[in-house]
């Protein structure tokens, strides 16, 4: 009987163990993955590791490095590189605690090349490269704040209790979290319902506390679909825009922060006018809905434009090679996400493993290795202080880094494999060890701190520099003259800018006089600044500029890369950029597919504008034809009529010009012929047949030059580009669609994502 009982107990245990195998859930696939994400990340504390390996094909290498033929040795070498990133975040907003630590490890054949650690918390920021130096360089925020508050006019900031504003934000966030998750969950459900496969039982082995552990997981395949991901973002923002609770959250938050600033009197410490704050609060309460909708409508409009972009659609061709798997363990927690790419030319394997969440996340620091950098810098001077200790740290770090390069296992393996390419690519690997030994020898004899302090002193922080600087302060700007040969409307622009800033102004019109002698007389008579716009005065201006360093001359014309004395400023307009925009607009607006450019002269400036116009047209639509017209006559009306008739006969429906008065006449004639104009001046800005005008506002340029002088500096060049405040665009008859695309183009050029190349002479 006893044996039977034992046998029954064993059978029951075996049955229970068998029943417990695998992951079971009553949730749908979309509910399960969403819940796992919430469970994993909602605590605010997570420990995650990313392992990445990459293989690159021969063709990809050739495209990237432009080296010609490659063999397997090159690709194998790159494939031996590995990347491992470990993220740790531990936060408790209730307690005002936050820690972030990240480790980047780049290895070669599993041996470290660069083992970098960065950390950030509410007290300090620090970094180390562990295989190069056994120390962590740390910047203490308390010390930084202390140094800031020592600066002039900053001491009042120390009187503000910032924690109360932080607590207001936290309390509002907690109140929102109670009500704000339902809509987010619903959006994720919709997304995952379409992009996830059904879960499959599997096992996963990972390292926990130094030991390999195998656990059951449920695995979902995720379809990487760029359109669905974009739609997910759109759904989030549309949901936020239409969710009254979200809107009220931000409205209440702003009001409570404003109330605290007003009631506590903090606004007085930072010299903000009470009436301005009251007006802001009134605007929030009365017009918040309008600004809210304008913000989201603008953002969603740009986002929808991106969705229509061909480049985004082409991305899907790459994403089709992605295979993403989501692993969920017991307690509905994410265990791992893998991303594999099997493109014919690029192989990528990435594995993101969740090591711990919540209270199980541990972030530790070895404070014995902390080197508090700010303890070694005197910002008043500035100089390196605690010189002996600083010298030891810097030398130890330098010697340790050299030792790693010479003897580190990762670098030894890498340099050995690079040796086979020594002659082919001229890498200099064989001589590296000799160079490093020479560096060590030099370091032994060098006083690093003394060298740094000498350089700081040389850069101009010593007393002698301050005295020199005071001697070079610009004299007060008392009188400005516009020197001209012909009558010009520019005189009125400069007069308005000068007299508006309380500076005497006069116009001097030359009549068969020695230009250089006149300039010299103006200087002797006490004129501080002269403006010229006629290139015939350039030679005399440059000669006088060389003689009198405190005599400032401003040339209101572009001269490319010509040399100017440092006390002479030239207006440098990137003509190709607005011309590019004009060509872009013309190509998008043309109904016939033919647009025209009217040459005034055949010089570099006009060729540069024509090149920009053609490039802009091709950027918009390569099928659009650009027809050239030459205005080679002094008879403005006659030549303009000939061009207008020829354009009409050739089917050209949009003209752009750099032809001065002839171009203006073409604007006037546009109503009699079947074409629209794009003008590069204010002329025709209100003409019903003007598609668009662009021009640089000389008034802004002149005002800025004078203001800059009064602030104490005078630059040799004044640049005007497509996105400058001085460059003005008037849309005139431009359609809403093309106008919106023009604004995006200007933004791309301004922020550097699009470079417009100038014309180069052969």
Of 290 and 74, the one with more pLDDT = 290
In the prediction, which pLDDT does 190 show? 86
Cα-Cα-Cα-Cα dihedral sign, residues 9, 15, 20, 22: positive
pLDDT at 587 over 80: yes
Give 562-572 pLDDT, tens digit per residue.
566 777 887 77
Of 170 and 645, the one with more pLDDT = 645
Distance CA 145, CA 148 (A): 5
Q: What is the DSSP string of 373-422?
A: GGGGEETTTTEE-SHHHHHHHHHHHHHHHHHHHHH-HHHHHHHHHHGGGH
Distance CA 289, CA 301 (A): 18
In the prediction, which pLDDT does 276 show? 81
Highest averaged pLDDT of the listed ranges 462-466, 533-537, 626-630: 626-630
Between CA 431 and CA 436, with CA 432 as vertex, the angle to 5 degrees is 120
Q: Which of 298-312, 314-328, 600-614, 622-636 has the lowest mean pLDDT?
A: 298-312
Give 199-258 pLDDT, tens digit per residue.
999 998 877 767 888 889 999 999 888 778 778 888 888 888 888 888 888 888 888 888
H-only helix segments in 42-180 = 58-65, 72-79, 141-149, 163-179
Residue 672: other Cβ atoms inside 10 A: 12
Distance CA 267, CA 269 (A): 5
pLDDT at 742 over 50: yes
In the prediction, which pLDDT does 181 show? 58
In the prediction, which pLDDT does 71 show? 54
**Locus of tokens 């029951």:** 12
C-beta of residue 105 within 8 angstroms of C-beta of residue 114? yes
Distance CA 697, CA 703 (A): 10
**Locus of tokens 């995650």:** 48
Which residue from 744, 724, 728 is spatially nearest to 736, judged by alpha carbons?
Answer: 744
pLDDT at 654 over 80: yes
Across the chain, mean pLDDT equals: 80
Return the bridge partners of 629, or none: 598
Phi, psi values for residue 679, rounded to 5°: -110, 145
Give 72-81 pLDDT, tens digit per residue.
666 677 778 8
Q: DSSP class of residue 196?
A: B
Strand 625-630 vs strand 322-329: parallel, antiparallel, or unpaired?
Answer: unpaired
Residues of the chain above pLDDT 70, percent: 82
Give 82-132 pLDDT, tens digit per residue.
888 898 998 875 666 788 999 999 999 889 999 999 998 888 999 999 999
Cα-Cα-Cα-Cα dihedral sign, residues 254, 258, 263, 266: positive
Strand 690-696 vs strand 676-679: parallel, antiparallel, or unpaired?
Answer: parallel
Average pLDDT rounded to a whole number, residues 516-531: 90
In the prediction, which pLDDT does 16 show? 36
Distance CA 663, CA 666 (A): 5
Residues 6+ apart with CB under 8 A from 363: 88, 90, 99, 101, 119
Task: Name the CA dihedral angle for 606, 610, 616, 620, rounded to a multiple of 10 degrees.
Answer: 160
Residue 469: band (very low, low, confident or very high) from pLDDT cuts 50, 70, 90: very low
Highest averaged pLDDT of the listed ranges 215-229, 268-282, 472-486, 552-566: 215-229
| Residue 331 region by backbone torsions, left for phi larger than 0, else alpha for psi between -120 and 50, else beta | left
What is the three-class DSSP state of 341?
A: strand
Average pLDDT rounded to a whole number, residues 719-743: 80
pLDDT at 4 over 50: no
622: its two tokens? 């390569």
Residue 460: band (very low, low, confident or very high) from pLDDT cuts 50, 70, 90: very low
Give 667-712 pLDDT, tens digit per residue.
888 888 888 998 887 777 778 888 888 877 788 888 888 888 877 7
C-beta of residue 698 within 8 angstroms of C-beta of residue 556? yes
49: its two tokens? 């590791």
Residue 7: other Cβ atoms inside 10 A: 10
Q: Which of 14-23, 90-99, 473-482, 596-605 has the lowest mean pLDDT?
A: 14-23
Q: What is the DSSP string of 477-535?
A: --EEEEEESS--THHHHHHHHHHHTT-EEEEEE-SS--HHHHHHHHHHTT--EEEE--G
Distance CA 469, CA 16 (A): 86
In the prediction, which pLDDT does 400 show? 93
| Residue 153 region by backbone torsions, left for phi larger than 0, else alpha for psi between -120 and 50, else beta | left
**Locus of tokens 């969710």:** 243
Of 637 and 508, the one with more pLDDT = 508
C-beta of residue 506 within 8 angstroms of C-beta of residue 530? no
In the prediction, which pLDDT does 671 show? 83
In the prediction, which pLDDT does 470 show? 43
Average pLDDT rounded to a whole number, residues 353-375: 90
In the prediction, which pLDDT does 10 show? 40
Phi, psi values for residue 698, rounded to 5°: -60, -30
Residue 467: band (very low, low, confident or very high) from pLDDT cuts 50, 70, 90: very low
Of 173 and 88, the one with more pLDDT = 88
Give 594-644 pLDDT, tens digit per residue.
999 998 877 778 888 899 999 999 999 999 999 999 886 555 778 888 899
CA distances 148 to 144, 153, 377, Å, are: 6, 10, 14
In the prediction, which pLDDT does 507 show? 92
């Amino acid at each position: 009987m006893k044996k039977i009982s034992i046998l029954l107990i064993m059978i029951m245990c075996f049955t229970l163990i068998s029943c417990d195998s695998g992951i079971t859930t009553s949730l749908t696939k979309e509910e399960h993955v969403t819940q796992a994400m919430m469970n994993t990340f909602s605590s605010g504390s997570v420990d995650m590791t990313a392992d990445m390996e990459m293989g690159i094909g021969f063709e990809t290498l050739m495209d990237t490095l432009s080296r010609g033929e490659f063999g397997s040795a090159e690709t194998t070498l790159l494939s031996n590189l590995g990347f491992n990133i470990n993220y740790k975040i531990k936060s408790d907003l209730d307690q005002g605690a936050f820690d972030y630590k990240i480790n980047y490890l780049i290895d070669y054949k599993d041996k470290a090349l660069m083992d970098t650690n960065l950390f950030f918390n509410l007290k300090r920021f620090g970094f180390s490269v562990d295989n190069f130096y056994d120390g962590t360089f740390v910047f203490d925020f308390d010390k930084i704040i202390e140094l800031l508050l020592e600066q002039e006019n900053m001491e009042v900031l120390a009187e503000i209790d910032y924690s109360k504003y932080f607590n207001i934000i936290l309390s509002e966030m907690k109140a929102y979290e109670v009500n704000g998750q339902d809509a987010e969950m619903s959006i994720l459900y919709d997304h995952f319902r379409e992009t996830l496969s059904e879960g499959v039982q599997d096992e996963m082995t990972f390292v926990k506390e130094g030991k390999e552990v195998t656990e059951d997981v449920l695995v979902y395949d995720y379809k990487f679909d760029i359109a669905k991901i974009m739609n997910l973002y759109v759904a989030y923002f549309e949901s936020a825009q239409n969710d009254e609770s979200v809107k009220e959250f931000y409205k209440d938050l702003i009001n409570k922060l404003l109330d605290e600033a007003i009631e506590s009197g903090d606004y007085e410490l930072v010299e903000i006018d009470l009436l301005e704050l009251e007006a802001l609060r009134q605007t929030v309460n009365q017009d918040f809905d309008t600004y809210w909708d304008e913000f989201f409508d603008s953002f969603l409009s740009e986002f929808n434009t991106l969705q229509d972009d061909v480049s985004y659609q082409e991305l899907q061709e790459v994403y089709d090679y992605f295979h993403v798997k989501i692993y969920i363990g017991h307690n509905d927690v994410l265990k791992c996400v893998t991303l594999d790419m099997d493109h014919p030319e690029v192989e990528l394997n990435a594995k993101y493993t969740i090591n711990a969440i919540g209270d199980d996340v541990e972030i530790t620091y070895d404070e014995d290795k902390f080197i508090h950098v700010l303890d070694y810098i005197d910002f008043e001077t500035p100089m390196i202080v605690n010189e002996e200790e600083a010298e030891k740290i810097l030398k130890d770090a330098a010697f340790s880094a050299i030792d790693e390069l010479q003897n580190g296992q990762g670098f030894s393996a890498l340099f050995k494999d690079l040796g086979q390419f020594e002659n082919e690519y001229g890498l200099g690997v064989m001589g590296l060890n000799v160079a490093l030994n020479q560096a060590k020898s030099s370091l032994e004899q060098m006083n690093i701190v003394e060298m740094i302090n000498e350089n700081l002193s040389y850069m101009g922080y010593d007393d002698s520099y301050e005295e020199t600087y005071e001697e070079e302060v610009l004299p007060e700007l008392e009188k400005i003259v516009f020197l001209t040969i012909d009558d010009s409307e520019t005189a009125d622009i400069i007069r308005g800018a000068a007299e508006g800033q309380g500076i005497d102004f006069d116009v001097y019109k030359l009549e068969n006089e020695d230009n250089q002698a006149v300039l010299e007389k103006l200087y002797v008579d006490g004129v501080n600044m002269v403006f010229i716009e006629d290139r015939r005065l350039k030679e005399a201006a440059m000669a006088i500029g060389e003689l009198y360093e405190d005599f400032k001359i401003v040339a209101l014309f572009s001269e490319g890369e010509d040399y100017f004395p440092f006390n002479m400023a030239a207006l440098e307009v990137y003509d190709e950029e607005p011309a590019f925009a004009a060509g872009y607009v013309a190509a998008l607006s043309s109904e016939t597919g033919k647009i025209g450019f009217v040459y005034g002269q055949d010089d570099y400036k006009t060729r540069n504008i024509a090149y920009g116009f053609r490039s802009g047209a091709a950027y918009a639509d390569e099928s659009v034809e650009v027809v050239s017209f030459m205005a080679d006559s002094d008879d403005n009306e006659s030549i303009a009529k000939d061009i207008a008739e020829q354009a009409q006969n050739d089917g050209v429906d949009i003209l752009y010009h750099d032809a001065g008065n002839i171009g203006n006449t073409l604007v006037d004639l546009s109503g009699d012929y079947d074409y629209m104009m794009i003008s590069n001046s204010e002329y025709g800005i209100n003409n019903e047949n003007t598609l668009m005008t662009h021009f640089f506002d000389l008034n802004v340029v002149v005002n800025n030059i004078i203001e800059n002088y009064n602030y104490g500096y005078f630059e040799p060049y004044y640049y005007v580009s497509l996105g400058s405040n001085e460059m003005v665009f008037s849309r005139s008859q431009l359609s809403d669609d093309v106008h919106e695309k023009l604004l995006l183009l200007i933004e791309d050029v301004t922020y550097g994502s699009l470079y417009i190349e100038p014309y180069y002479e052969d």
